[in-house]
Amino acid sequence: MIQVQNWTVGSRRAYVIGAGLAGLWTAWNLAQEGHEVIIYEAHEPGYGASSRAVGIVSLQLPLKLLGYALEGLRAYKSMGLVRETMSLWIPRPEVFECALSVARELERHGMPISIGTVEELINQGTVNGDERAILMVQAIVDPGDVINALYSKMAAWIVEGSATVRDGMVLVNGRPLDDGPVFIASGPWSTDLLGLRGLRTYRCSAFGVESDDELPGLIVEDDIMSFYYVPEGGRRRGIIAGPDEPLNLTNEGFRVNIYEAYDVLEAASKRMPSALGMRPVSAWAAPCVVAPDGMPAVGEVPGMNNVYVFTGLNGAGLTLAPALSKLLVDAFEGVSQVPQFMRPERLERLNGDFLEPFDALCA
């Protein structure tokens, strides 16, 4: 266990629960505001989805989240972690106009885009289809590099400890915390911990693939066939992922079978013929969490004193954590407000199936 030492007398202490991307970014922003931070982690940093993300700094998000995603992109660029790749985005026809407004906004930020049918944008034979699509540049980062970069700044602040909540109070290893705000960033486990209603847990999974043939050298995000493909370093390696699975038990989210990849490859082959020649070589998964409106949960926990939550980051937590953690810390400091559409109290009023960022595009 790592001990915390040398706290400065008179400074303000803040507690963070969970050392995933949400918790580490929150801790970093709290420290920038002069707080002494203790991060309690039940397992090890990156234990949940955070070390298992594919690594796309997703810009295919609803307009109202786009500014936060671009801020995330700037943060990763300034850390020197970004690799850029062309990306073909094929939204479902019913959200195409909303996707187009997102693309136009990216263009306004100096990011070139091309619009046309799949056939017009890409050589036929690599990716097929006559649906309207958007060609743009996307950034990829290695989540392991992000965790390591943050961990190296904050290793001394991380303490092994499991949080529980009793009578509205947060306990760690069964003991109440001293005075100080508590920021719950324990991913899908935040839901059980806080008894937050409305959030849904599901499994995010991905498969490493190899082929004897050359594979497409661009990202394909296909919301019609429900898969995404990401080229890896070599020309014959990639990552492919299919639809997400709703979960009843959070820990079941780690379970994945490499043979599930064949269903994804079959669906993908209708769009990318080369998927037929891909062999799955690895598989990984973790629980992710989302609200029915597809928006994160950021802000003070209703009915609890001095307790804040940062979760519901969906399949876009790598992208959104830098900016939304700053938003939360700024709101805590009283210098800004969390917009209504992200506040936890709205969750009580929500119902319905969970939404992916794609589905929430027109929300």
Residues that bind ligand FAD (CB under 6 A): 17-23, 40-43, 47-50, 52-56, 58, 162-163, 185-189, 193, 204-206, 284-286, 288, 311, 313-319
Q: 119 or 232: whose CB is closer to ligand FAD? A: 232
- Bridge partners (DSSP) of residue 171 are 164, 176
Q: Smallest gap, in angstroms, from Cβ of residue 170 to ligand FAD?
A: 9
Q: 118 or 170: whose CB is closer to ligand FAD? A: 170
Q: 132 or 316: whose CB is closer to ligand FAD? A: 316
304 contacts: CB under 8 Å, gap ≥ 6: 165, 168, 194
Q: Smallest gap, in angstroms, from Cβ of residue 53 to ligand FAD?
A: 3
Contact of 8 with 36, CB cutoff 8 Å: yes
Instruction: Report the candidate in 210, 216, 276, 290 with the shortest Cα–Cα distance to residue 246.
Output: 290
Q: 132 or 172: whose CB is closer to ligand FAD? A: 172
Q: Smallest gap, in angstroms, from Cβ of residue 321 to ligand FAD?
A: 6
Q: Smallest gap, in angstroms, from Cβ of residue 311 to ligand FAD?
A: 5
Q: At what angle do helices 317-333 and 21-32 cross, to 10 degrees?
A: 40
User: How many CB atoms lie under 10 A from the CB of residue 246?
Assistant: 11
Residue tagged 């019913």 (tokens): 94
Q: Say whether 90 sits in a helix, a strand or coil.
A: strand
Extended strands (E) in the chain:
12-17, 35-41, 56-57, 83-90, 114-117, 132-140, 158-160, 163-166, 169-172, 175-176, 182-184, 200-210, 219-222, 227-231, 237-241, 245-246, 279-290, 297-300, 307-311
Q: Smallest gap, in angstroms, from Cβ of residue 43 to ligand FAD?
A: 4
How is residue 151 annotated by DSSP? H
Residue tagged 């306990």 (tokens): 171
Q: 274 or 325: whose CB is closer to ligand FAD? A: 325
User: How many CB atoms lie under 10 A from the CB of residue 82?
Assistant: 18
Q: Smallest gap, in angstroms, from Cβ of residue 185 to ligand FAD?
A: 5
Sign of torsion, CA 60 242 238 204? positive
Q: 251 or 340: whose CB is closer to ligand FAD? A: 251
Q: 59 or 331: whose CB is closer to ligand FAD? A: 59
Q: Smallest gap, in angstroms, from Cβ of residue 130 to ligand FAD?
A: 28
Q: 244 or 300: whose CB is closer to ligand FAD? A: 244
Q: Say whether 153 sits in a helix, a strand or coil.
A: helix
What the block records as the tokens of 231 is 């080229």
Q: Smallest gap, in angstroms, from Cβ of residue 41 to ligand FAD?
A: 5
Q: 132 or 170: whose CB is closer to ligand FAD? A: 170
CA distances from 33 to 13, 78, 326 (A): 11, 20, 10
Q: How far apart are CA 1 and CA 304, in angstroms?
A: 29
Residue 22 burial class via C-beta count within 10 angstroms: exposed 0-12, middle 13-18, buried 19 and up: buried
Contact of 132 with 93, CB cutoff 8 Å: yes
Q: Smallest gap, in angstroms, from Cβ of residue 199 to ligand FAD?
A: 11
Q: 58 or 274: whose CB is closer to ligand FAD? A: 58
Q: Smallest gap, in angstroms, from Cβ of residue 300 to ligand FAD?
A: 17
